[in-house]
Amino acid sequence: MKKIMSILALAVALFLTACSQQEQTPKASSSASSHSSETVASTSAEKEQVQSIDGSYRGQDAESTILLVVTGQKGTYTVTDSDGEEETKEVAIDPVNQSMRIGDELYRYRVEGDQLSLEDLEQAEDDQGTIVLTRQ
């Protein structure tokens, strides 16, 4: 009988200890959670201060002329071939990740002064997939 009482007392003590630890864990986790949301909020605020790329950009290669016109998070990308044929694609911009989708292709953009560089993220590693445009 003493063994049963000892085991029962030990089980109750373990149960009470586990319950008291569970009550403390959400408090610690909620303070850690609120701290990490503050970090995320400040990081998001920093990213939102990214330089606006609104405007017109022009570039040229041996075969065509490129005109990119950006307003807010949208724009148009027009390629004019040497024979005068034009192709225009819709542009969607993600300023937080500094990426833009031109038609079906995804690019990462970088601004350095008047230069806007577009790096093709879906291009093969051994191929140079960078387009450099100049602000007009």
| Mean pLDDT of the 100-116 span | 94
CATH 2.40.128.50 correct for 55-135: yes
| Mean pLDDT of the 61-86 span | 94
Distance between CA atoms of residues 87 and 78, nearest Å: 6
For residue 7, name the pLDDT band (cuts at 50, 70, 90).
confident
Label residue 35 exposed, middle or buried (CB < 10 Å: 0-12, 13-18, 19+): exposed
User: Which residues fall within 8 angstroms of residue 87, CB to CB, at 6 or more apart?
Assistant: 78, 79
Q: What is the pTM of this model?
A: 0.61
Domain boundaries, the chain: 1-49, 55-135
AA letter at 114: D
Distance between CA atoms of residues 81 and 86, nearest Å: 6
Top-ranked range on mean pLDDT: pick from 28-32, 47-51, 84-88: 84-88
Distance between CA atoms of residues 34 and 121, nearest Å: 35
